[in-house]
Amino acid sequence: MFTWLRRIFIHFLINFAALYAAAKFVEGITITAAGDDIWRALALASIVFGVVNVLLRPLLAFFSLPFIVLTLGLFMFVLNGLMLYLTAWLVADYHIENFTAAVWGALLVTVIHWCSTWLVSETLKNEGRG
């Protein structure tokens, strides 16, 4: 009945985990909040990152299509880094020092998001068979 709501919530959780991993493992990405505010900052960053990816990324991908084709798709990593950098700019407690850290963080977020989405989709497929 509410499959779309469940999908949004699952993507929120995946973004939450991926942004946390990026802050933990990529030098130059930090969360400046303390205590329980870390989780609030991550939740806000996850929501903003999701909205930025839904609204701006397709538009920017369309306008940068010649660069994407010319670089055989590698320019998408730059776009993903830009989306992460924009998220850090909009969320006060999520900081990215430079664009290189944003691109490495976006690469990590992309890999985590891809793997997690694949695992969740396989789990949901197997649930439907049983």
- Which of the 8 DSSP states describes residue 25? H
When pLDDT is cut at 50, 70 and 90, the band that residue 89 belongs to is very high
Would 8 be classed as within a structural domain? no
Tens digits of residue pLDDT in 112-128: 999 998 888 877 677 66
Residue 14 inside a domain? The answer is no
Domains in the chain, number: 1
What percent of the chain is modeled with pLDDT above 90? 77
For the record, the structure tokens of 92 come out as: 């006060």
Q: How confident is the model at residue 130 (pLDDT cuts 50, 70, 90)?
A: very low
pLDDT of residue 128: 62
Question: 130 lies in a domain?
Answer: no
Interacting residues of 12 by C-beta distance below 8 A, sequence separation 6+: 46, 47, 50
Its pTM stands at 0.87
Structure tokens at 53: 């990816």
In a domain, 10, yes or no: no
Q: Which amino acid is at 29?
A: I
Query: What is the number of alpha carbons within 13 Å of residue 24 lying toward its C-beta?
Result: 9
Residue 77 lies in a domain: yes
- Render pLDDT for 26-70 as a digit per residue (tens, 0 to 9): 999 999 988 888 999 999 999 999 999 999 999 999 999 999 999
Residue 70 located in a structural domain: yes
Q: State the pairing for strand pair 29-31/94-96.
A: antiparallel
Range of the domain at 52: 22-120
| Structural domain includes residue 84 | yes
- Indicate whether 127 belongs to any domain: no
